[in-house]
Amino acid sequence: MTTIHPSAVVDPDAKIGADCTVGPFTYIGPEVVLGARNSIGPNCVLHGRVTLGDDNHLVSHVAVGGPPQDLKYKGEPTEVVIGSRNTIREFVTINRGTPGGGGVARLGNDILMMAYSHVAHDCAVGDFVIFANAGTLAGHVHVGQHATVGALSAIHQFCVVGDYAFIGGGSIITRDVLPYIKTVGARGEGKTFGINTIGLQRKGFSPEAIEALKSAYRILFQSKMLFSEAVGVADEKLGHVPEVAYLLRFIRESKRGIQR
């Protein structure tokens, strides 16, 4: 049984799934599509083309589907697509895509967005990502699954954050962020601080995989070899381990260079 508070404004063309709740003073526009069992708290705004899956919880004062903060945007029809079982806390903002970026800002499943975090136009966020308070993505950023964006961190346009990456609080990220690794730093001075051992253990990675990643990290960042040479050595010695293979592939495919 869907419940809509009398003070909420829900456009008659909006599609609201079964067993949803819409809190007081919330606005839902005509192009919004909600799946089942979504909880939309008070004072939220969902407008433009917005699609949510099932079992999402928007706590309060969340704004989803606002036009992109891009001067090139001229009102073209673009959208936000959000998966299922996400928790989106107070004052989070998620903007629509732009034609130049594919037209879609896309978020996966089981994401936690803490208060004041922001996802800009044309971003793609994988499953099980955590945004701490005021973690911010500029346009066209891709974040891999199980990554963590620390509080008060900002990620530059077009950066890629690898799977299981951990970005420490207060970081300014201007290059791609390596998977499995802890990265912290100020603008232009971001540094890695080893494999995120505790985080990977909590995610169920095997001791053998973690040890292989540690060995690869030592070759890549603590040896005296040229970096290109170190990548080749790590591949030769440890490239048979799937996690190391992904790390090395991420390095080779990076377009902005990596934080190291």
Query: Which sequence positions are flagged as catalytic?
Result: 121-122, 139
Distance in angstroms (rounded) separating the CA atoms of residues 120 and 7:
29
Helix (H, G, I), strand (E, B) or coil at 110: coil
Contact assessment for residue 169 and residue 151, using Cβ atoms and an 8 Å cutoff? yes
- φ, ψ for residue 66 (rounded to 5)? -65, 155
Name the β-bridge partners of 176. Answer: 258
Tokens encoding 11: 């456009």
Query: For residue 192, what are the β-bridge partners?
Result: 183
- The token pair that represents 87 in the structure block: 């928790």
Q: What is the DSSP string of 11-28?
A: -TTSEE-TT-EE-TT-EE
Residue closest to 105 by CA, chosen among 74, 133, 68: 68
Angle value at C-alpha 150, between 69 and 141, nearest 5 degrees: 40
Q: Please, are residues 180 and 163 in contact by the beta-carbon 8 Å criterion?
A: yes
